Amino acid sequence: MLRWDVANNTWALSEALRPLILNFNFQRSGKTVYVITGFTGFIGAITGMKPGVITLTMNERFVPDGGFVGLIEWLVGERDAHWVTFLARDLLDTATSFDMASNALSKTKILAPCYYILGGNSSGQGIVITRGRTKSLYPMSMDQAKGGWYVLQTNYDHWKAPLIIDDRRTPGKACMDQMTQTNVGFEGLYNVLSTIPVLNK
């Protein structure tokens, strides 16, 4: 199921999950608290937004002593770590600010390593939080002092060179720089995300 579908030039799992993708609007007293784009039956949050407060996406991070260690600990009764997508969902529900969410995502013990990509409602509020199970590693914020207006994350640690056979970071940055901040919007971002190899095809 995780295999590359050579005939269709895509990941088989992505295509299998596509019909199950929905937008979920969580409300309290008739007012939207947060919105998640997710899969039918999945109760965590991979990507979502709390209107006027934060946007949040969780991305996989592979390390040799990864999530299986946290899962084994959880199964044997050590339940002090949070599931990565449950932490994301809880913060979409409870966060009152970018700083509060950033602090929780950086310091809360989690079951598996991951990347949290967090955006706020003010200029300069964007950060990639690279997580080990117990701490944050080398957070990457927008550096407005150096003209930075975006942060870009693929499935590789930003302080390490990407695999030469899967470098989506370099073309992604080139596309963002070519688009420029002035052209940020649905069409501009769609074009960046649809560009091969950023599209991961």
Q: What is the mean pLDDT of residues 140-164?
A: 87
> Do 133 and 54 reside in the same domain of the chain?
yes
What is residue 16's predicted lDDT score, i.e. its pLDDT?
85
Residue 21, beta-bridge partner list = 39
| Neighbour-count burial of 195, counting CB atoms closer than 10 A to its CB (0-12 exposed, 13-18 middle, 19+ buried) | middle
- pLDDT bracket for residue 1 (50, 70, 90): low
> Do 148 and 125 reside in the same domain of the chain?
yes
Q: Apex CA 130: angle with CA 95 and CA 77, to 5°?
A: 75
Q: With 90 as the cut, is the pLDDT of residue 118 above it?
A: yes
Helix (H) or strand (E) holding 140: strand 136-141
Q: Which two tokens stand for residue 134?
A: 């117990």
Q: Which CATH number goes with the domain that contains 73?
A: 3.60.60.10
Q: 166-197: per-residue pLDDT in tens?
A: 899 999 999 999 999 999 999 999 999 888 88
What is residue 52's predicted lDDT score, i.e. its pLDDT?
98
- Residue 135 C-alpha from the chain's centroid: 17
CA dist 166 and 156 (Å) reads 10
Structural domain boundaries enclosing 178: 161-200
> Do 123 and 35 reside in the same domain of the chain?
yes
Task: State the pTM of this model.
Answer: 0.90
Q: 59-81: per-residue pLDDT in tens?
A: 999 888 788 899 999 999 999 99
How many domains does the structure of the chain reveal? 2
* DSSP notation for 35-101: EEEEETT--S-SEEEETTTEEEEEEE---TT-HHHHHHHHHTT---SBPHHHHHHHHHHH--SHHHH
Q: With 70 as the cut, is the pLDDT of residue 2 above it?
A: no
